[in-house]
């Protein structure tokens, strides 16, 4: 199985800050990576697919980059509604494993 490792596991930031979350795959996955946002008690929401494609309706302050084994999710200017947990997921091979999650908290 491909292992996905996110860092950091948690981060504290303020409204307006720029935040970057990284995701590393244990082997190359080309661009088969998606990012999801999850708020407490809610289902995950797709933000980014194919490593860098913004899902329709998602604000442009979210962006993704990377290919192969190293990927990043960047939020350019944090808004109050962005405080949540973020997960990466690889879809290069089965099982489609998730990272352990990064909790973004208000400083």
Partner 1 sequence: QVQLVQSGAELKKPGASVKVSCKASGYTFTSYVISWVRQAPGQGLEWMGWISPYNGNTNYTQKLQGRVTMTTDTSTSTAYMELRSLTSDDTAVYYCARDRAGLSDPWGQGTLVTVSS
- Mask for 53-92, x = binds partner 1 (CB under 8 A): --x-------------------------------x-x-xx
Query: DSSP states of the chain as a string?
Result: ---EEEE-SEEEE-TT--EEEEEEESS--TT-EEEEEE-TTS--EEEEETTTEEPTTS-TTEEEEEETTEEEEEESS--GGG-SEEEEEE-SSSS-PBP--EEEEE-
1 vs 15, which CB is nearer to partner 1?
1
The residues binding partner 1 (CB under 8 A) are 1, 32-34, 36, 38, 43-46, 49-50, 55, 87, 89, 91-92, 94-101
């Amino acid at each position: 199985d491909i292992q996905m490792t996110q860092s950091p596991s948690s981060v504290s930031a303020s409204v307006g800050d720029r935040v970057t979350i990284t995701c590393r795959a244990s082997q190359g996955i080309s661009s088969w990576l998606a990012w999801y946002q999850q708020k407490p008690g809610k289902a995950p929401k797709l933000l980014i697919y194919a490593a860098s494609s913004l899902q329709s309706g998602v604000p442009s302050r979210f962006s993704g980059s990377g290919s192969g084994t190293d990927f990043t999710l960047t939020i350019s200017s944090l808004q109050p509604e962005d405080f949540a947990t973020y997960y990466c997921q690889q879809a290069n091979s089965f099982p489609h494993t998730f990272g352990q999650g990064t909790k973004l908290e208000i400083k």
